[in-house]
Chains A and B, each alone.
Chain A
Amino acid sequence: MTLRRAAYRTFMFVMALALVAALWEGYKLVGPKDGGSLFGVSILPRSNDTAMPHVWDMLSRYARAERRGSDTQIWQVVLSGAWYSLRLSLVGFVLGGSIGVGLAILMARFKRAEQGLLPYLVISQTVPLIALAPLVVAWGGKLEIGAFVWPRWLSASVLGAFLAFFPISVGSLRGLTSAPGAAVELMSSYAATWRQTLWKLRFPAAVPFMVPAFKLGASGAVIGVVVAEISTGLKGGIGRLIIEYAREATADPAKVFTAVFGAAALGLTMAGLVALVDLVVMRNRPKEVAA
């Protein structure tokens, strides 16, 4: 059953990709080569090969050398860039996840904390990442805690954590407070401590809220890391590849898309990891029955 479902979902995913590719090529076929504009405002995007390379050009670019005379093909470069960014994103995600859940527990425990903290959490997300990035990156190599010297890459992870913690804390808070009143009262009638209630009731009840929140947080971590890489020129990751390849868009427009797809795949991988953990953690839980 589950195998069939998995096969079906994979099939649908591939179909969705094929649909997007078909739409892309379809627009290239009928769309105006130099774009369309109405009253001087451009409305329709250009469909020429510089603005919208053919799908097969973008895909075949992966198999060609990154530069003439270099032995590495572009898929290897993109893959190693994605791997580097994935590790940074994981660090950021774990960091952001711990902070997010920690804050959610605090806010679920003390109403005062929720009233006091929540507005600041919202405000924190209005700070543009690119304004924050140079500041955080300046910690690199300067901050020393004992024998620990702050490495430059950790700044990128921190920015990933900055984007990841918000949906996680808000989602977890919603989840932790979602246990039905009767269940909470039952726990108190057993004289359960707050911690016991947290472990035995609130966390299990929160899972359906926390999983989507963690998925959001996971892709947030990726975005944070990629933007930080672009903004600060951190070398080795997919963000840096995007900006380096974008500079060559004049003559080799397919190249930048290879890196952009890499970043998208990275986000999907992170969200997929969360789904996988969800599957493992929830394997013994009775399936919800539709009411």
Chain B
Amino acid sequence: MTPHILTRSLDRAATTFILIVAGLGVLIPLSNLLMPQGSMFQVPTYLVALWGKYVCYAILALSIDLIWGYCGILSLGHGAFFALGGYAMGMYLMRQIGSRGVYGNPILPDFMVFLNYPKLPWYWHGFDMFWFAALMVLLVPGLLAFCFGWLAFRSRVTGVYLSIITQAMTYALLLAFFRNDFGFGGNNGLTDFKDILGFNVQADGTRAALFLLSCAALIIAFVICRAIVTSKLGKVLIAVRDAESRTRFLGYRVESYKLFVFTLSACMAGVAGALYVPQVGIINPSEFAPGNSIEAVIWVAVGGRGTLVGAALGAVVVNYAKTFFTSGPLAPYWLFMLGALFILVTLLLPKGIVGTFNAWWEPWKTRRTTGLAADEESAAREDGIGAPNPAE
């Protein structure tokens, strides 16, 4: 009997991860709101926002791991989908400012008044409604990824070529969004947000709710990814990763599988960006910088490519380290450390933290409980990167 897809996909590690995220998602906001100011149990608001940012990065990392770790598509432009989701949310937040802007224009955001826009550009219409913006958060990155992937996968652009053109894509978007006449605030981007759904963005309660929402989104994204990679579809994806041509010769439409995960992953990145913007309070074109996308890839590599928990963990660990080091006296050395991290992880820790841990833990566990059920073992194998890809 095959168990239900959800229960089957959640092994012990996955359940633990979900419980930890859920616990943090509830406890941190509660401690921030209920404990008295200055108490040692009170999490300051700035930390709530900071950790909210990490959680959004974790969702982005999950989306990258889904395509890179399980399907072998290394996208160096995922930051673009993240930023597009962020811009969609930013546009909603800009429209919510209404007449409270510096120029007091009820329709046009400040930067449009400043740049002498006669009226709202057509693509800004509808963003005053939350449901529309939320739809666009999914639709815009998804559509871009669909078109891009449809073109790229159909003509069998693979490996590093795909990586390079995804990088070119985000670079082109970076240049476009820097332009003032593109209608997205140019260099300064969108900022000065006031309300989200009628709640003040700056208020402690809103921040706590956003944090909770981000954790919920992380859990949902995790469960979706987990369901995909443990399903039959996931098996085909891994086959595509390890031997694309062989999979094609076996009769699978490789490009359809790739297109599906690529688009899904872009939507997830868009959601991450949309949750990121109200917590950070700004979105500007620098989010499109190719360096950002590559940095997101290294989070996955650090945590463990092909392990979903690892991707989320890597995002939090690397970003925590970034916050820690760039705010201290070691700030000038952060780029050395980040660079060294790229080199050392690829050279010495190719499976990442979680992958390496699994490689140690699993044989030991198997020895202890010999005769364990076969599906546990196969789950462990899926988590690793597997043998080096001969086709690459």
| B is bound to A | no
Which residues of B come within 8 Å of A, CB atoms? none
